[in-house]
Homo-oligomer: A and B are copies of this chain.
């Protein structure tokens, strides 16, 4: 690989750049971001070699790989522009949390050299200053090749992730969105809603946020995640997120029914089954 462009120089983009460098990548690492401050910070911190807020400039970068790391709903617009300024050989991939239809739309624009990807890694933090070179080590990385995906492009992307310590797994774009709509997007929706509940149920003389001991704090850590990023994820994976919320409300209604009816045995059974299942994943 000659050189790499990271689109969106935030927590994820910065982590990818740092990880590449840590694992011995010798080429240039460029950054593109709409925010000049992010570029300046990333250069000062040595996360990227050069950066720009002007996409046409990337035509001089001799790029082998582009890693889209901005909020998912910016991908299409950026891909349409980007295409004009990169060689047809350059492989394009991403770190977005939503795949599904978006993968086909990006293929439509970029052709077979686009490879959909999603490292199952991250924190509630945002900003390049928090990025972590070791972010992907031992983490699953889902790639979502389609019938159309170029085998060499897929091979390159897979190789890079494995080099960075990721454990690559393939899924269809549709299965990816079903699975992560439930195991990741739903917990975020729930955490956001839970904090909102405390806002709504606080009273002038009762500030519920004064008592964050009882499980609430750990539980809602992910509600500190970036609002724009999560708005984009919820909207881009709308159908699965709504399906997951419905499924969750059904489970909560069932629990509510057992509590309301004081169904001691069924309630114990419900909690015991859940505990057992949760213990299995540790």
Contacts and interface: CB of A to CB of B under 8 A. Distances in A.
A148 interface: no
Nearest to A248: B197
Interface string A21-62: 000000000000000000000000000000000000000000
A214 interface: yes
Contacts of A180: 211, 214
A241 to B, nearest CB: 6
A200 B251 contact: yes
Contact of A245 (B221, B234, B256): B256
B219 A219 contact: yes
B183 A198 contact: yes
Contacts of A259: 189, 234-235, 238, 241-242
A214 B96 CA distance: 12
Q: Is the interface on chain A under 10, 10 to 19, 20 to 34, or 35 or more residues? A: 35 or more
A192 B242 contact: no
A187 B214 contact: yes
8 smallest beta-carbon distances between A and B, as pairs:
A184-B214, A120-B213, A227-B271, A196-B251, A193-B252, A193-B251, A227-B272, A195-B274
Interface stretch (A82-90, A151-159, A261-269): A261-269
Contacts of A187: 194, 214-216, 219-220
Interface stretch (A3-11, A109-117, A201-209): A201-209
A40 to B, nearest CB: 24
Interface string A175-191: 10011101111111111
Interface in A129-187: 139-140, 175, 178-180, 182-187
Contacts of A191: 215, 219
Contacts of A262: 235, 238
Interface string A270-281: 111111011111
A197 B278 CA distance: 12
Contacts of A189: 252, 255, 259
A182 B197 contact: yes
27 contacts: A179-B208, A180-B211, A180-B214, A182-B197, A182-B198, A182-B208, A183-B211, A184-B214, A184-B216, A185-B214, A187-B220, A193-B252, A194-B248, A197-B251, A199-B277, A200-B250, A201-B244, A209-B277, A217-B281, A218-B221, A220-B278, A224-B275, A224-B279, A227-B272, A234-B267, A238-B259, A249-B249
Interface in A225-249: 225-228, 230-231, 234-235, 238, 241-242, 244-245, 247-249
